[in-house]
Structure 1
Amino acid sequence: MLRPLFFGALVFLLFIYWRQPSSSTSSAPVSKGKAERVIRHQAVRHNSGASPDLSKASTSGRTVAVGDLHSDLAQTLAVLRLANMIDQNQNWSGGKDTLVQTGDIVDRGPDTIAVYNLFDNLRKQAKAAGGLVVNVYGNHEVMNLGGDLRYVTEEDYASFGGRQKRKEAWDVRTGWLGKQIYSNFNITYKSAHTVFTHGDLEPEWARLGVDTLNFMARDAIWNGQFRAPIFQGDGPIWSRGHAMQEGGEEATCKRIEAVKKALGVNRLISGHTPQYQTGKILSICNGSYMVIDVGISKYYGGHLAALEIIEHNDGTESVYALYPGGKRKV
């Protein structure tokens, strides 16, 4: 009598085990229900540390965003000075403003250590002044954390003291730079009326919400799951669907409206798709979506531009593109 009962219980337990959610290397979109099951399963596995503290948001009503920098210190300093975010001594001069950098600080240039350390210093100085510095993961941050080094320059390796020392520095658990990045970066950031990502935020990901996306990215990085769906082609660090207007302008604007509605915002800001031929910020769908990767690094032409968003007391906003020749409303 006991054997059939035991066998039945064993079959039931195996069935439950097989139904448990697991990480996937597929590039297919993740449904909200599946993502939430994965999160509940993953949340009990580890304590990977607190998320970046973005609670002390800017009170000035001014937000400046800059795109991909690609290890070019001189151009990074130039664009931050253009936006009045640093002084001539490379110190924070933004007061209570918010600075958002949309990822890809690393690769293609020689100044990786200098640019990351600059942002680390600015985060601390901004916080002391009542301002805020926000960093968003780019695909190149995730690639380097995961050991994909195809775009690292020899000068970059040398600045770390060699390939092995660079590898050690990027470890999120034990490396000085890996821990710095993991402690201060998220995959997306939402201000009052704007959402910032590196690549384009597609509707199926937006419906999960900002907090869920950030948790999923942090969990995957901590556990070394760099082929997780959130880091694949349609995810927020790789997609170029909006920038390339896949399916045409009308279809693109419909997708953008779906994202805005899901997140309750007025606009989406991305980097990732370099506008180096024009050197100008791309704005489509009546200003609902903008690409701020203008090719700031010398590798992409050395164009300078930043986006400025001013929130007024009456709830309205003004949005400007900042260029060396002056600022223009967009």
Structure 2
Amino acid sequence: MDVGLLSQYLANGVMLGLMYALVAVGFTLFFGVLDVIKFSHGDVAMVGAFAGFATYGGLQAAGVHNPVIQMLGVVLVSVAAMAILGALIARYLIVPLRGAPALNTLLITLMLGTALRESVRLFFPDGANPKPFPRLLPAGSLEFGQFTLRADSAILLAAGIAVIAAVHLLINRTKLGLAIRAVAQDEETARSMGINFSLIVLVTFALGSGVGAFAGVMNGLYYNEINFGMGLLLGVSGFAAAIVGGLGNIYGAILGGFLFAGLQTIGAVAMPFASAYKDVFAFGAVILIMAIRPTGLIPEKNSERV
């Protein structure tokens, strides 16, 4: 195979892995704290991408043309807006259903995802059609012998790794992270030790949704296009990554993200009509892995989950 083409497949697989890992981390945080699956998570990432797109339009209209300022504005507004949206979803939809059957939460978050998609399609200007996401990153490339890496891919790769590292440090090296882990481990004991359970839930959902928004913006910057349906596949792929890695384990979510993207890349390289069959190959492989390892590759360490 041509080395240049192989390098493109490799770079694409790594970028997809980062996006899926970021989305999977959100699913893991939600499940770890409240034992819920928030099926609207992918659509929140999509809304985050559209919020970034709208921010870029606003900055352009205001006469701000510096790409660095535009990039910072797009990312900060997108992440902050989706963090607030995630906290509102937790406060008014998830927490009130804690005593209800788990299927109720699944249904309401599934319907919420559909509502978010249709709202963007109907109310965002020309929302039914794909939008060209602004090219805010350098357009050059880095040469390593026969291996070529786009400059924007390198920047996005570094940024994605930095976000994952920041979440890791937050969860494992701060008092807030300790409180999140305590609530995930044992809610009643955490409450008895003075931890504000409601606040931790809101912060966790804000954190997961903000990270998902970053994945949505990353998707737009990498492919230079967004559409109202992008969150559906992004959410399903991120959820598959979280499951195959081990739902409830952040390291498993990261591993699952790269594994799922790797399976898609293998499918694209090895199978005919790659664009049509790579997802079928990846999901088929996930089904096989789950049949062999039902608890995921890195199962959650908690001895009991209700």
TM over 0.5: no
Task: Considering fraction of residues, name the structure with more strand.
Answer: 1
> 1 or 2 for the larger relative contact order (CA 8 Å, sep ≥6)?
2
TM-score, with structure 2 as normaliser:
0.29
